[in-house]
Chain A
Amino acid sequence: MSENALIRTDTAAPGLSRIIALIVLAAALIALPFVVQALGQPALVPLATRVLIYAIAAASLNLALGFGGMVSFGHAAFFGIGGYAVGILYRTFADDALFLGFIPGTDQLLVTLPAAILAAGLFACIIGALSLRTAGVQFIMITLAFAQMLFFLFVSLKAYGGDDGMTIRRRNALFDLNTRDDVTFYFICLVIAALVFLVLWRIVGSRFGMVLAGIRQNERRMAAIGIAPYRYKLAAFVISGMGAGLAGALMANYLRFVSPDMLHWTKSGELMIMVILGGVGTLLGPLLGAAALVILETVLTGWTEHWQLVLGPILLLVVLFTQGGLNGLLTRLGLGRSAP
């Protein structure tokens, strides 16, 4: 990214009003399933689950894109690999076979999630190590190219459903919980999302996060003071890919279905939109962006068949007239301290 792309980064210690806002947000998210059920709208629980899953993916992308200045147009690849990790492990488990001849299948969430994270991280490491040799427009395009390659690879893998994708008959099991139940699954996603945001917050505030911000602002200067930017960028890219993989694994469980659509380039675009909509380089921005996009999509779809004709101008206005996305808008409306 060019040097004039100054992105505001909040790394200061949280103030009192921020802590209060976070507690209010947490309380609202915990109370949400009970409130919507009391209101007679239980269908909103799966919607909120989807927001949380996309928030994890968008927040992870934001680590590379907002904090690291690496505009990846291929994060759908990691999202999809996470999803396929769950799908393939389940299929292997159901067939009582061995994947690649030595990996037994499983339907335990405590195994599939780490496996998805690991697989996505591995791919992120390979793709990142190669892509980070370029920068700027070329970086955007090479990440897109790798994602497209994986997209077409999964399209052509007939053993795993090819174009049609594959269904996962049951959600992964976690202890004795009934993961089929929407509220239970919502809370599983909420706990994982909270952990992800906590980890990201710790990363951004750490020495590593500072170095990353420095590299984004001026790579040459960081190199001059004796820091090798490549390693830091690659590490951030891998962590970011792992987060997207985790989100993909949850999404595969949520839909009980994986298909190459999860790796399509428009999915990368959607994740980017969530980040930009919420506010690039802010911690909770991606949550806001994911909520805004998912809810807007749902509301507009119910309203008119041509909902994209409404969404398009809204996105356009957000880009042209609100610097810093929704988070920036809130800040300027005087709610800034309350929206970290």
Chain B
Amino acid sequence: MQLSQRLHSPNVTAMTLVLEQLLNGLQFGVMLFLLAAGLTLIFGIMGVINLAHGSLYMVGAYAAAFAAAQTGSFLLALLAGLAAAAFIGMVMELVVLRRLYARDHLDQVLATFALILIFNQSVTILFGRQPLFVAIPPALNGSVQLLPGLTYPVYRLAIIAIGLLVALGLYLLINRTRVGMLVRAGATHREMVRALGVDIRLLYTAVFGLGALLAGLAGLMAGPILAVQVGMGEQILIMTFVVVVIGGVGSIRGAFFGALIVGLVDTSLRAFAPGLLRHVMTGSEADALGAGLASMGIYLLMAIVLLVRPKGLFPAHV
């Protein structure tokens, strides 16, 4: 999609171009939300910085790609990706993270950094360094015309729909069920929940498993639109942290709005910054600086948000 070329084709008006980028931003936003929801719950409830959350995303993507290549069934690939991510996540919690809850952030950062090394190397040994490419499931292949002049891939629309459904499901789970009540209580006052006789260890493992499941879902959905490769987790992890911090640590609602803001800002800067800069400088320099500015954009946003509201937009603990 060369933006400059498309601008000159008569059917594409500036309006549809903006709409298309908005949809891209929305799609990226809901992917970020799936990761950020798990991360913010783990942050908020257990107080753990889990750098290896991106590895669970990678595990989901690889398991689904592998299952799809072996069986050719999208449904089996979906199940394999979800199961692998949730299983690995719970094992990770039981074996390593459980020992880190009482430690300070430094130990958590180092231990989960070590986990990243282990996951990345294991995947390299199992699947090699070459990126895997995953086909879009046939049922979701193709594009639909949303407006005259605006066609959009069905698969990306499906991602947006699934992401929004998961957000709704999480909202209901957190606000309407007993488990959700415990999660909210745990995020507000961990010791009190424990003092009231709730088996907090079971709750921790369950929350971790849920977070891992969502990360795996994001990973397996990303498979067909991005290359499945080692290191894919770290790229998106840093952006997920930005989302969590902008939204407010521990807040699902914050994660949702933070993810949409970051998704939209990042996508539109990437799409429009080089073009705007071209009005004031030469092509190649504008592209380089535009790409740089677009990459800096969300970090700048995060710095501004934190300076104005140090606890994020929707702080969970007041």
Contact = CB atoms under 8 A, between A and B. Distances in A.
Interface of A: 1-2, 4-5, 65, 71, 73, 130, 133-138, 140-142, 144-146, 148-149, 152-153, 155-158, 162, 265-266, 269, 272-273, 276-277, 280, 306, 308-309, 311-316, 318-320
B1 interface: no
Contacts of B242: 141, 145
Interface in B110-124: 110-111, 113-118, 120-122, 124
Contacts of A152: 292, 295-296, 299
Nearest to B234: A266
B121 A153 contact: no
Main secondary structure on chain B at its contact with chain A?
helix
B118 A312 contact: yes
Given A73-B109, A313-B118, A4 B104 contact: yes
Given A269-B113, A316-B114, A319-B107, A144 B238 contact: yes
B121 A312 contact: yes
B109 A5 contact: no
B249 interface: yes
B318 interface: no
B120 to A, nearest CB: 7
Contacts, number: 143
B49 A273 contact: no
Interface in B281-318: 284-285, 288-293, 295-296, 299-300, 302-303, 306-307, 310-312
B202 interface: no
A314 B114 CA distance: 8
A272 B107 CA distance: 10
Interface in B10-56: 43, 49
Nearest to B119: A312
A280 B96 CA distance: 21
B121 A309 contact: yes
26 contacts: A71-B106, A130-B307, A134-B306, A137-B49, A137-B245, A138-B249, A140-B105, A142-B302, A145-B303, A148-B299, A153-B296, A156-B288, A156-B289, A156-B295, A158-B285, A158-B289, A265-B238, A269-B109, A276-B106, A308-B121, A312-B117, A312-B118, A315-B113, A316-B96, A319-B107, A319-B111
Given A71-B105, A142-B302, A152-B296, 15 more contacts: A2-B105, A137-B43, A138-B306, A141-B245, A141-B302, A142-B303, A149-B299, A153-B296, A156-B291, A276-B107, A306-B121, A311-B117, A313-B114, A315-B111, A319-B111
Residue among A158, A276, A320 with the highest chain B CB neighbour number at 10 A? A320
A153 B295 CA distance: 9
Contact of A162 (B115, B288, B299, B300): B288
* B: contact size bracket: 35 or more
Given A130-B307, A138-B310, A316-B115, A308 B96 contact: no
A207 B303 CA distance: 33
**Residue among A65, A266, A315 with the highest chain B CB neighbour number at 10 A:** A315
B279 interface: no
A146 B105 contact: no
Smallest CB-CB A-B distances: 6 pairs: A156-B292, A312-B117, A312-B118, A315-B114, A5-B104, A309-B121
A273 B284 CA distance: 38
Given A1-B105, A142-B303, A319-B110, A155 B249 contact: no
Given A71-B105, A138-B245, A272 B110 contact: yes
A136 B245 CA distance: 11
A3 to B, nearest CB: 10
Contacts of B234: 266
A309 B306 CA distance: 36
Contacts of A311: 114, 117
Contacts of B238: 144, 148, 265
Contacts of A157: 292
Nearest to A141: B245
A149 B296 contact: yes
Given A2-B104, A313-B114, A315-B117, A149 B288 contact: no
